[in-house]
Structure 1
């Protein structure tokens, strides 16, 4: 498996990402994760939709909490043809509890804990922590990546405006 060092840090300490970097223009890699009811979900389940895929280390941390709540709020202005998915290594039960407590209902949470399929396919699996690095990918209805951001320090938020502009620019 491809290892990439120095792409992201945690409070200044470099981490190793497993998997290949996903770039703008690439076909979005397929993955399988599980939803809050332990059902498998793959990229094909979002076929024909505009898609925001947000990878986060854990919903139970302040920055991940803020990010997912922000995308939940933004969802209202994006339309029904846009799906927002937050992926983490959190167990599905923890994701379900967090969504209920946070009132998050417009963002779908998926757990990558079983196989790290998303993490390796999108090059965001942190070798040292077996968590996902913070990253955001925007995929158009044809399955092409139109925006890719690997957040340099996983304790920072992504560039929301760039993500939202990318989604809005899809015809």
Structure 2
């Protein structure tokens, strides 16, 4: 972790062009110990009020409800931090089949998850910044320009 996968996904998710192109944009953080029910309910909250009737449904029924809502139009779902292939398999049952209008973007620290999700595309790998790039970024973040007082340079580097 820590190379900027979530930051890049957030930039895509929050981009006005993306928000316009996909009227339904849903961000889901996939914790290491998630439950299907929690994820499905989080998605459903974007479409409907969650009452006892919805809350009392089985995981399978919730997955069907999610798929039915998503199948109605264009959507973007970001699933942030998918840990395993099994996690993906568990969650994908709630996605509509053959929906060419919807997109799912995942972040994962495990390349095999990305390969499993879409065997026809290569995952985008983020590289770490070089020391010089890191130093330049730090200066911009702290001082707003690529200049650092000499007395602080030793601390910064």
TM norm. shorter chain > 0.5: no
Q: TM-score, normalised by structure 2?
A: 0.31
Normalized per residue, which structure has more helix?
2
Normalized per residue, which structure has more strand?
1
Q: TM-score, normalised by structure 1?
A: 0.30
Which protein has greater RCO, CA pairs closer than 8 Å, 6+ apart? 1
Structure number with larger C-alpha Rg = 2
